[in-house]
Amino acid sequence: MVDALKLKIKTLPFGTHAVECHLDESFFNTDEQFEVRRADVDVTLTVTRKSESTFRLEISCKGTVTTACDRCLEDLDLPVDVDYRLNVEQMGTELDDSNDELLIVPSDWRELDAAPLVRDTVLLAMPMTRCHEDDECNPVMLDLLDSHCVEAVPDDDDTQESETTGTDPRWEALKKLKEQ
Ligand SMILES: [Zn+2]
């Protein structure tokens, strides 16, 4: 919960107001699609009340998000430097967030929590491929992951057995372990 991001839209004076806050990993951890190990992000949220029912929001996020490298699983620091601007209009009775540039919120809302907007702004700016540069992966981890891949291929001695039984020798070993 970040109180600074809760905008009192009914009582906000006309004009431009800026709030600043710092976000850590606890802010992002509600998202299961993307593992955020650590976060150190400064947010500036600028709100301009243009009329009784129209607002302009500017979200600016800068900092670092640490996630897992897809290749070596070690920490991967991703720089965050993203801005998002949108208009907000209060009307009707239903929330409509289908438009990227115009958010419609019900007329009777007294408060608009910008936290989900900020969260999406940061997470949507993350690259699809999340890997260290080619030679910057942890070599120990790569070796470890590599050796697991090699173990997964039965070596020559096992080939005979697995052909006759049709069972992967590793599953057989697991079964024996379970039966004990
Ligand atoms: Zn890596």
Q: Which helix (H) or strand (E) holds 71?
A: none
User: 28 CA to middle of ligand 1, Å?
Assistant: 22
CA–CA distance, 6 with 67 (Å, rounded to integer): 27
Q: Are residues 114 and 162 in the same domain?
A: no
Q: Between residues 61 and 179, which one has the greater pLDDT?
A: 61
User: 76 CA to middle of ligand 1, Å?
Assistant: 7
Residue 111 maps to a domain: yes
- pLDDT at 107 (0 to 100): 96
Q: Are residues 155 and 71 in the same domain?
A: no
Q: Are residues 99 and 15 in the same domain?
A: yes
β-strands 38-49, 6-7 pairing = unpaired
Q: Which residues of 7-27 are buried (b: 16+ CB within 10 A; e: fewer)?
A: bebeeeeeeeeebebebeeeb
- Host domain of residue 172: 139-179
φ, ψ at 154 (rounded to 5°): -60, 140
Q: Are residues 41 and 103 in the same domain?
A: yes
Residue 69 maps to a domain: yes
Q: What is the domain count for the chain? A: 2
Q: Between residues 170 and 80, which one has the greater pLDDT?
A: 80
- pLDDT at 3 (0 to 100): 86
User: 123 CA to middle of ligand 1, Å?
Assistant: 20
Four-point Cα dihedral 41, 44, 45, 48, nearest 10: -170
Residue 108 has pLDDT above 60, yes or no: yes
CA–CA distance, 47 with 165 (Å, rounded to integer): 69
Mean pLDDT estimate for the chain: 86
Residue 101 maps to a domain: yes
Instruction: Dump pLDDT digits (tens) for 11-47.
Output: 999 999 999 999 999 998 765 678 899 999 999 999 9
- pLDDT at 131 (0 to 100): 93
- Kindly report the CATH number assigned to the domain that includes residue 118: 3.30.450
Which of 74-80's residues contact partners 24+ apart within 8 Å by CB, and which partners?
Answer: 74/132, 74/137, 74/138, 74/141, 75/37, 75/38, 76/130, 76/131, 76/132, 78/126, 78/127, 78/130, 80/41, 80/122, 80/125
Q: Are residues 93 and 117 in the same domain?
A: yes
Secondary structure letter of residue 96 according to DSSP: B
β-strands 54-68, 15-23 pairing = unpaired
Q: What is the pTM of this model?
A: 0.77
Mean pLDDT of 116-130: 93
Instruction: Dump pLDDT digits (tens) for 70-80.
Output: 999 999 999 99
User: 82 CA to middle of ligand 1, Å?
Assistant: 24
**Of 101, 124, 147, which marks where a domain is finished?**
124
User: 46 CA to middle of ligand 1, Å?
Assistant: 36
Q: Are residues 144 and 98 in the same domain?
A: no
User: 29 CA to middle of ligand 1, Å?
Assistant: 21
The residues near 155 (Cβ < 8 Å, ≥ 6 apart) are none
User: 142 CA to middle of ligand 1, Å?
Assistant: 8
Mean pLDDT of 77-89: 97
User: 139 CA to middle of ligand 1, Å?
Assistant: 9
Q: Are residues 96 and 157 in the same domain?
A: no
- pLDDT at 159 (0 to 100): 46
